């Protein structure tokens, strides 16, 4: 199967060279193309990209949108499989592309695959634990028949490192009214349509972000709004219980690794997550000026919005 790799860039001079360099080292027998869509880089990103044989598309910054721009990438793709990769994601091995796409070749009911994300060495212990929690070491294939049975783990899917059948992306394009978590919306619709989604731990990349307490509060506020817009808030079973287990396991991780000084910070950090989620459930009654101050992705013009960490 021919593959199209789509990368969205903006001011990614610190990471894009490693990202593209790792792609061109892949041991992959089939043909693949790389499409880069840049939305107004002002650093050396474009000059770095032009060193590689890629298809480069530039758009004005005000035209960038997480869903619509990814749909643009899909429309430009000639491959049967579309791989989305973040500009700051670096494949760990030269088998990354093979591992990311092989499930799509093995099972026609699998419509998408997402790979493991590993924090870099300079990442915080809290972020290290978060990525361990989200991305395990076991291959997993998810399917669902009833919306009322959704669990957070079943909806896990990330466009930072994923491969999807183009025909399914055409059937379920990313929603233009979704400003955040467009990948989760896609996974919910695809699963309900009877498709399967696979997790491939061997298709690993370096990719993770450390967030401050304020940033994580705002992020989880936006997460809850996304769940509201997607229409899965009431169907997310066991979310609170999972949150409690997460905090307990994180505290255990910090204690075992002698990060004692981070234990109080962890409690504050996770309280910020919970507060953001709870506040997001009250979205409809929160005054618009306050929502604009809290949210990073909703209630704002994309031409003035801060770039998302992708």
pLDDT tens, position by position, 64-111: 999 999 999 999 999 999 999 999 999 999 999 999 999 998 899 999
CA distance 101 to 1: 9
pLDDT over 70 percentage in the chain: 91
* Residue tagged 């929502």 (tokens): 291
Q: Cα separation of 22 and 36, whole Å?
A: 15
Class of CATH domain 3-206: alpha beta
Taking the complete model, does pTM exceed 0.85, yes or no? yes
What are the percentages of helix, strand and coil residues in the chain, rounded to 5? 45, 15, 35
- Beta bridge partners, 242, equal none
Residue given tokens 């809850």 in the structure block? 224
Helix H or strand E encompassing 224: helix 213-230
Are the C-beta atoms of 2 and 78 separated by less than 8 Å? yes
Which two structure tokens, joined as six digits, stand for 299? 């209630």
Domain ranges of the chain: 3-206, 213-294
Is the pLDDT assigned to residue 247 strictly greater than 70?
yes
Q: What is the pLDDT of residues 163-195, one digit of tens each?
A: 999 999 999 999 988 888 899 999 989 998 999
- From the number of C-beta atoms within 10 Å of its C-beta (0-12, 13-18, 19+), residue 129 rates as buried
């Amino acid at each position: 199967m021919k593959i199209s790799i789509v990368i969205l860039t903006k001011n990614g001079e610190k990471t894009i060279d490693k990202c593209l360099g790792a792609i061109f080292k892949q041991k992959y027998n089939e043909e693949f193309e790389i499409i880069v869509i840049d939305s107004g880089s002002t650093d050396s990103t474009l000059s770095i990209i032009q060193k590689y044989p890629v298809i480069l598309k530039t758009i004005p910054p005000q035209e960038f949108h997480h869903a619509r721009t990814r749909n643009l990438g899909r429309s430009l793709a000639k491959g049967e499989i579309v791989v989305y990769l973040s500009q700051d994601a670096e494949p760990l091995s030269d088998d990354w592309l093979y591992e990311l796409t092989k499930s799509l070749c093995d099972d026609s009911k699998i419509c998408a695959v997402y790979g493991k994300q590993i924090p870099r060495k300079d990442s915080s212990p809290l972020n290290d634990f978060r990525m361990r929690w989200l991305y395990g070491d076991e291959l997993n294939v998810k399917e669902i028949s009833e919306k009322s049975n959704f669990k957070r783990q079943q909806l896990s899917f990330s466009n930072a490192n994923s491969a999807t059948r183009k025909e399914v992306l055409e059937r379920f394009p990313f929603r233009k009214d979704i400003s955040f978590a467009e990948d989760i919306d896609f996974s919910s619709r695809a699963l309900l349509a009877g498709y399967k989604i696979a997790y491939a731990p061997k298709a690993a990349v370096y990719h993770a972000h450390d967030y401050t307490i304020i940033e994580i509060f705002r992020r989880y506020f936006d997460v809850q709004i996304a769940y509201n817009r997607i229409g899965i808030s009431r169907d997310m079973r066991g979310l609170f219980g999972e949150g409690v287990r997460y905090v307990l396991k994180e505290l255990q991780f910090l204690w075992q690794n002698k990060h004692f000084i981070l234990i109080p910070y962890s409690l504050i950090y996770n309280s910020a997550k919970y507060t953001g989620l709870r506040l997001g459930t009250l979205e409809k009654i929160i005054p618009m000026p306050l929502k604009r101050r809290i949210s990073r992705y909703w209630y704002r013009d994309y031409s003035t919005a801060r770039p998302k960490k992708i």
